Structure 1
Amino acid sequence: MGIWITVIGIAMAAAILLWAYRVAHRLDRLHVRTDLAHQALVAALDRRAAVARTVAAALRSRDDTALDEFGVDMARLADCAESSSFARRENPENELSILLGKVAAATREIVPPPTELIAEVADAQTRVVIARRFYNDAVRDTRALAQRRPVRLLRLGGRAPMPEYFEIIERVGA
């Protein structure tokens, strides 16, 4: 009888260790996924800032004072957004989204309209939306697993910081 209790105890300990190993490994893979999604999001945001600077240069090249001011503001916001740290980037990106949403309205009077720039802005905006969704999905999955009570008690997440969501405006109408 005593041998069976020992065998059952060893089997339970092995099952718990196997579970802990699998959860720690899963959490590590989720952190890697979050890091890769973070890099993709930063790349999409940087690309959108570059597109915004291109649009700003095109608007400043016109002989219209209103468009020139619009271009200066857009270039300033693109520089501000790109130079901000990731944790402080949400507000400048939101302002840039609002300004980029007004591009079509501001360029209606330009003949011929810069359709290639408008298409480039739309593509950059779409890529930011997709990258943000992937990043926030990875953050959600990582946080859900890391905040479970057994995972916290056994410290299976190690010293990895808890990832934060990135919330910006997805679509802005003109």
Structure 2
Amino acid sequence: MDSAERVDGPAVERWTRATVHPDMWVDPADDPREDEAEGVDERSALLAALRHFRLTLEMKCAGLDAEQMARRAVPPSTMSLLGLVRHMAEDERHFRRLAGEDLPRIYRTAEDRDGDWNGAVADPAVVDDAWRRWRAERERTDRFIEGFADLGTRTAGGDPLRDILLMQITEYARHCGHADLLRERVDGRVGQ
């Protein structure tokens, strides 16, 4: 069992099996990103969007080994799917930093501001660590958001939580576009 299978568990088979639409990851009726949040309140809609893009990142990485996860896009770019997972772990933490929490960086340092990308090497332990940290930071962000009854509440950082949440959704959406291209470069897989 490779590193991605251990991380993603049963989702790997579900997200990588053939479908009636060969260019898609899963049949539309089985897409785990679909949610009943349509037409509901603002909070539910924003959290559904965040969930959607988090799942998209996982889907785009499903079934890959450490070498594939760490494969760089196009020189001189240091972007890789593994780098994206590490970057988004850093961004989940940055979300709470913007809200006023005093938190150290995970991968970036004063000496290596791109440590999230540069440290994304083809080692199963590095891949496992990236997924573990991303999931832990994601859970901490979710608990943080739960602490606010009103998304209009200003955080300790001075911004309304809504604004920070929208920035986080935008960051995921942008990087999921990168993940589409990176995955296509790894194995030609495209679609939703």
Mark yes or no: TM-score above 0.5.
no
Q: Which has the higher contact order (CA 8 A, sep 6+)?
A: 1
TM-score (norm 1): 0.38
Greater helix fraction, Structure 1 or Structure 2: 1
- Structure number with greater Rg is 1
TM-score (norm 2): 0.35
